Amino acid sequence: TVNAFVGLAAIQIAQIDVFRAAGLQPDGIIGHSVGELACGYADNSLTHEEVILSAYWRGKCVKDAKLPPGGMAAVGLTWEECREKCPPGVVPACHNAEDTVTISGPQAAVAKFVSKLKSEGVFAKEVLSAGVAFHSYYMASIAPVLLNALQKVILNPKPRSSRWISTSIPESQWQSELAQNSSAEYHVNNLVNPVLFQEGLKHVPDNAVVVEIAPHALLQAILKRSL
């Protein structure tokens, strides 16, 4: 988890630097989960050192927490259907598209629910998450430790510009104090709350040129369907 987060952050920083060297600047920025750290770099509200160290501590705090075995899965349900159908302990964690949600929770419960959905003819597939139920209630116990670590990394939080579309804070709270800065508090909130990617994509203008900054085009299919 530590290596994955740090590696991802390093690749994203390098890609953003290539675009900058070519004279390209984004009119809008949106991130998915830990990808919001790269948003901070693209938005000039985090330095590359802050991004790398924040990614490191995010992974280390998760690893050191020794959480119960967790699992995640992509399912072909709407957010509302997930909230109704998820068994106890399993929660909708990432709202990826109108009819695609990543669920999170205890490993056995997620696997059982995936089997049930498949038997009903609903798309369901477990995803690799290193045995961690990210963006679920399991993350709450990590929050204080991660906050302490990130406050030592992001010493002087910079304001988030209007270009950066938050996917970790509901739009109804975009004027809140938490949403204003690329702070330790903002990035801890990112881990412990659901990813509202579908909601964020609604703010991408029609006919916009959208470039995924990542080592793998993981979100390409979702972006093509949603934009």
> What is residue 176's predicted lDDT score, i.e. its pLDDT?
98
Q: Are 127 and 72 in contact (CB under 8 A)?
A: yes
Q: Are 153 and 57 in contact (CB under 8 A)?
A: yes
Q: Are 158 and 182 in contact (CB under 8 A)?
A: yes
> What is residue 14's predicted lDDT score, i.e. its pLDDT?
99
Q: Looking at residue 88, what DSSP letter applies?
A: T
| Residue ranges for the chain with pLDDT beneath 70 | none
Residue type, 158: K
- Phi, psi angles (nearest 5°) of residue 182: -85, 70
Residue type, 179: A
> What is residue 218's predicted lDDT score, i.e. its pLDDT?
86
79 contacts: CB under 8 Å, gap ≥ 6:
92, 95, 101, 198
| Structural domains present in the chain | 1-66+141-226 (3.40.366.10), 70-127 (3.30.70.250)
> What is residue 225's predicted lDDT score, i.e. its pLDDT?
85
Find residue 94's DSSP bridge partners. Answer: 102, 195
> What is residue 227's predicted lDDT score, i.e. its pLDDT?
87
Taking phi over 0 as left and psi of -120 to 50 as alpha, with beta for the rest, 47 belongs to: beta
pLDDT tens readout for residues 26-41: 999 999 999 999 999 9
Q: Are 5 and 38 in contact (CB under 8 A)?
A: no
Distance CA 24, CA 128 (A): 33
Distance CA 21, CA 7 (A): 21
User: Is the whole model's pTM more than 0.75, yes or no?
Assistant: yes
**Sign, Cα dihedral of 59, 63, 65, 68:** positive
